[in-house]
Structure 1
Amino acid sequence: MRATPGNPDLPSARGISRRDALRYATAASALAGLGAAVGAGAPAASAAAPTLIDYAMKQIPAQDIRAAGHAGVINYVSTSRPGSSFGAKPITLPYAQALTTAGLVIVSNYQYGKPGGTAPSDFTRGYPGGVADARTGWQLHTAAGGGQSAPIYFSVDDDVDRHTWDTVVLPWFRGINSVIGVQRTGIYGGIRPCQWATADGVIGRSGTPGKVWAWQTRSWSGGQIFPGATLYQRIIDTASNPGPIVGGIRVDVNDVLAQDVGQWNLHP
């Protein structure tokens, strides 16, 4: 995921305080599959919570991810855009098996297009695009061994307004729902799309009470967090603010905010 920060003033959100971070750490300490991955000999990735990394450039060896102290990955169940060749898109069965064998967890994400890319943002294709993307995402997810009840987080990698949400993005999610169902649908995006997706009932609920399949990015969130989010993309790799290097490439880092973030091992 690549994005730029914004500052919407949203009274229904709240800032991320140190107290919040410690509370998340307490909740995450019992995180099935994730706490064990961090605690089994790997150094702690963050004082606040277990962390998952996301990346597209190449398949980072599992031992490098563990050595960096991360509990797992958010990997793509989508292919590369025209003119690009990302080694981690899509996740493959052998790579998923290597990650699992190393005690790392996996969460699925779909993103093919992007703003200004060689393919437009996926959500711009509305309901028919949602149908097509869900079919592709689910086929790649299951081919790699993804859990049958695990969600896929579909990306809204742009600062969309409410009109665009209602007229373009929401129909896209309705198309996704028509293929894989609401419970297996998640969203990646800034705070407002996460809130809107929840209110409109197009994303499923985590097994952690009060949480939904919302992977929130720091971008366009104004330093605030949606209380229902399961994941928070805290470090975003950009040219001006490079992310940490793991396995020779820069990565994004995501804080775990729930015991159930849709990891495959909890959703066989």
Structure 2
Amino acid sequence: MQDSPGTTDPRPSHPISRRDALRYAAAVSALAGFGVAAAGTPTASAAAPTLIDFAMRQLAAQDIRAAGHSGVINYVSTSRPGSSFGAKPITLPYAQSLTAAGLVIVSNYQYGKPGGTAPSDFTRGYAGGVSDARTAWQLHTAAGGGQSAPIFFSVDDDIDHNTWNTVALQWFRGINSVIGVQRTGIYGGINACQWATADGVIGRSRSPGRVWAWQTRSWSRGQVHPAAVLYQRVVSTESNPGPVVGGLPVDVSDVLAQDCGQWNLHP
């Protein structure tokens, strides 16, 4: 990456109401114009609809649309000590401008990072997960995020299974205790996405067979988790910058499911 609600039932969602079904159909129709067929399941490819993520500053909705992207994955976290990222956290006026332009929004939490001025979030254990979930939910809802929309919490590192079991898993369980499993998602490489799915700490998309996994190409060995809803195909770095939108290099993620956790499907 660039840089208190009650708990919910972690079991698969119940059948949705007619009103929610109509809202879902409308959102699917909007995404269909970017390459998602209503009856099909997109794959990780340049033909899929794309969402961008960025941290340095807010990008104008018209620039995002002009670049051909269907929305953003934006932070519901603040900047680390010693940094000041203009896109962290997403604000209500900015979210409203994106929505008015027909763009979708997905929420992501990342405060610390490896080698940064704050340690990687997943290292903070159960209590850290509780604290991070409270912060994420407050910023998400303040910006107008949907009450049932997921937040993707970042494991922005190449961890092994032992680190997952002894450290990261406890962090996710702390998150679950605050916002519930169904509103919890993960950002990470293929292994972390698979472990989170197997251990039942992330929720399920309304798209059949999909879970709240936003997989990055980093640490994924060219593989794509079949249950992921998003795949970060372009990771912008100083040495290999991503495509430029509004004067800023961005990360690009393919949308792999009609329900990828966008706010307008989860009011």
Looking at structure 2, the residues matched to 206 and 32 of structure 1 have their Cα atoms a distance apart, in angstroms, of 17
By how many angstroms is 1:48 displaced?
A: 1.7
By how many angstroms is 1:33 displaced?
A: 3.8
Contact 1:75 1:91 in 2 (8 A): yes
By how many angstroms is 1:239 displaced?
A: 1.8
The letter of the residue matching 2:62 is Q
The equivalences for 1:252-267 within 5 A come to: 252-267=251-266
Contact 2:46 2:254 in 1 (8 A): no
Aligned to 1:233: 232
Looking at structure 2, the residues matched to 179 and 119 of structure 1 have their Cα atoms a distance apart, in angstroms, of 22
Aligned to 1:152: 151
Deviations 1:56-98 (A, max 9, x none): 0000000000000000000000000000000000000000000
Give secondary structure in 2 for the equivalent of 1:141.
helix
Deviations 1:40-68 (A, max 9, x none): xxxxxx74200000000000000000000
Aligned to 1:215: 214
Q: Could you say if the C-alpha distance between residues 94 and 2 of structure 1 is closer, same or farther in structure 2, counting changes exceeding 3 Å?
A: closer
The equivalences for 1:58-97 within 5 A come to: 58-97=57-96
By how many angstroms is 1:240 displaced?
A: 2.0
Corresponding position: 1:203 with 2:202: yes
Give secondary structure in 2 for the equivalent of 1:225.
coil
Aligned to 2:28: 31
Give secondary structure in 2 for the equivalent of 1:224.
coil
Give secondary structure in 1 for the equivalent of 2:233.
strand
Looking at structure 2, the residues matched to 171 and 63 of structure 1 have their Cα atoms a distance apart, in angstroms, of 41
Looking at structure 2, the residues matched to 47 and 262 of structure 1 have their Cα atoms a distance apart, in angstroms, of 20
Aligned to 2:119: 120
Q: Could you say if the C-alpha distance between residues 201 and 32 of structure 1 is closer, same or farther in structure 2, counting changes exceeding 3 Å?
A: farther
Aligned to 1:8: none
Aligned to 1:42: none
Deviations 1:113-169 (A, max 9, x none): 000000000010000000000000000000000000000000000000001000000
The letter of the residue matching 2:238 is A
The letter of the residue matching 1:121 is S
Looking at structure 2, the residues matched to 197 and 182 of structure 1 have their Cα atoms a distance apart, in angstroms, of 11
Give secondary structure in 1 for the equivalent of 2:136.
helix
TM-score by length of structure 2 reads 0.86
Looking at structure 2, the residues matched to 109 and 32 of structure 1 have their Cα atoms a distance apart, in angstroms, of 24
Aligned to 1:132: 131
Identity %: 81
Q: Aligned pair count?
A: 236
By how many angstroms is 1:211 displaced?
A: 0.3
Looking at structure 1, the residues matched to 46 and 228 of structure 2 have their Cα atoms a distance apart, in angstroms, of 19
The equivalences for 1:14-25 within 5 A come to: none
By how many angstroms is 1:34 displaced?
A: 2.6
TM-score by length of structure 1 reads 0.85
Contact 1:185 1:204 in 2 (8 A): yes
Contact 1:50 1:256 in 2 (8 A): yes
Contact 2:106 2:262 in 1 (8 A): yes
Deviations 1:197-239 (A, max 9, x none): 0000000000000000000000000000100000000000012
Looking at structure 2, the residues matched to 37 and 122 of structure 1 have their Cα atoms a distance apart, in angstroms, of 34
RMSD: 1.6
The letter of the residue matching 2:85 is F
Give secondary structure in 2 for the equivalent of 1:115.
coil
Q: Could you say if the C-alpha distance between residues 38 and 71 of structure 1 is closer, same or farther in structure 2, counting changes exceeding 3 Å?
A: farther
Looking at structure 1, the residues matched to 242 and 130 of structure 2 have their Cα atoms a distance apart, in angstroms, of 33
Looking at structure 2, the residues matched to 226 and 255 of structure 1 have their Cα atoms a distance apart, in angstroms, of 13
Q: Could you say if the C-alpha distance between residues 193 and 47 of structure 1 is closer, same or farther in structure 2, counting changes exceeding 3 Å?
A: closer
Looking at structure 2, the residues matched to 32 and 151 of structure 1 have their Cα atoms a distance apart, in angstroms, of 21
Contact 1:113 1:119 in 2 (8 A): yes
Give secondary structure in 1 for the equivalent of 2:239.
coil
Aligned to 2:164: 165
Aligned to 1:10: none
